Amino acid sequence: MAFTNPSNITDMGRILPYVNEVMDSAFGILFLFAIFTVFFISLKEYPTPKAFAAAAFITVPFAVFFYIISIINTYFLILFVVLTIVGYLMIRE
């Protein structure tokens, strides 16, 4: 399998798209789920609905950033926005 020559990466803005290309477009998705999981586990001192909502809310800016630089597609951006809405509805009582 041939990849783009990494020597043409001259600035920080091209590293993430290159890594995403090397990982067959899985880098952004896996990174977002890793961020979500780390925040969810670290917020487990709170009740589960609050930890879920906070982790989803913290992950959405990363999803928007990755969408802007074309690391993830629209489906995954909408997925994380929906997770945030579900988390909000879980804590709204």
Q: Is residue 19 in a domain?
A: no
Q: Is 3 a residue whose pLDDT tops 60?
A: no
Q: Is residue 13 in a domain?
A: no
- Structural domain total, the chain: 1
Q: What global pTM score does this model have?
A: 0.83
Q: Which amino acid is at 54?
A: A
- Strands of the chain, DSSP E: none
Q: Tell me the C-alpha distance between 59 and 80, whole Å.
A: 7
Residue-wise pLDDT for 29-58, tens only, equals 999 999 999 999 999 999 999 999 999 999
Token couple for 18: 């290159």
Task: Indicate the average pLDDT of the chain.
Answer: 88
Q: Is residue 76 in a domain?
A: yes
Q: Is residue 67 in a domain?
A: yes
Domain of residue 85 covers 26-91
Q: What share of the chain is helix, strand, coil (3-state, %, to 5)?
A: 75, 0, 25
Q: Which amino acid is at 84?
A: T
Q: Is residue 11 in a domain?
A: no
pLDDT computed for residue 17 by the predictor: 81
Q: Is residue 7 in a domain?
A: no
Q: Is residue 18 in a domain?
A: no
Q: Is residue 20 in a domain?
A: no
Residue 23's pLDDT band, with cuts at 50, 70 and 90, is confident
Q: Tell me the C-alpha distance between 36 and 64, whole Å.
A: 14
Q: Tell me the C-alpha distance between 36 and 52, whole Å.
A: 9
